[in-house]
A and B are shown apart, each in its own frame.
Chain A
Amino acid sequence: EAGVAQSPRYKIIEKRQSVAFWCNPISGHATLYWYQQILGQGPKLLIQFQNNGVVDDSQLPKDRFSAERLKGVDSTLKIQPAKLEDSAVYLCASSSRQGNGTEAFFGQGTRLTVV
């Protein structure tokens, strides 16, 4: 089966600019996650969707970050305006259902550099 697709792979922007990342999960996967991974650290969950509803966005900096999953399939994550500390890899993951024993499949990520 095709994996989780993300684009772009790399993005360089200046601080205060805006940027958007796109994710296409594995077909049929209802749950979609966005993680932020700062260099040298493990990934940190930003937001989780179940179909097109938000399950957990407690660690999403809502003053500058937003995410949507309008039709319960693709998702976009936006940062506006970007700060230097937003430089990180943004990972999208999906899983087929809630409950235990459900592994999450990750995309390759988008590496964002804010200068």
Chain B
Amino acid sequence: DAKTTQPPSMDCAEGRAANLPCNHSTISGNEYVYWYRQIHSQGPQYIIHGLKNNETNEMASLIITEDRKSSTLILPHATLRDTAVYYCIVRVASSILTGGGNKLTFGTGTQLKVEL
């Protein structure tokens, strides 16, 4: 799976948009971009994923550049409860036929701190 690069930490004011960047310059055509977050003392939580197109769900938006070498996770109105470590992961498509694992390879992520 391709390697990702994220800033170690970011701060955001409550109510503002939090924009978390991720560089994945060696991503392959069949690799998806996934975002998870981990709030202190909890297990990681899925946020969103995408391949080429921008994606949005109730938690966040994912913007992937046209060359797919980088992406940005956007939390439109950050709250104190969004304080967490955010992990950007790229993962190859797997299938029952290939016996692929679907495993998630975590880096060290970005510690987002949302403040009043």
Contact = CB atoms under 8 A, between A and B. Distances in A.
Interface of A: 4, 31, 33, 40-45, 48, 55-56, 91, 93, 95, 98-109
B103 interface: yes
Interface string B79-116: 00000010100010111100111111111110000000
B46 A103 contact: yes
Interface size class of B (residues with CB under 8 A): 20 to 34
Interface stretch (B21-29, B37-45, B61-69): B37-45
B96 A42 contact: no
B92 to A, nearest CB: 9
Contact of B44 (A43, A95, A100): A43
A interface secondary structure, majority: loop
Given A43-B106, A48-B101, A55-B101, A99 B43 contact: no
Given A40-B108, A41-B108, A42-B109, A106 B100 contact: no
A45 B104 contact: yes
Of the candidates B42, B103, B105, the one having the most CB atoms from chain A within 10 angstroms of its own CB is B103
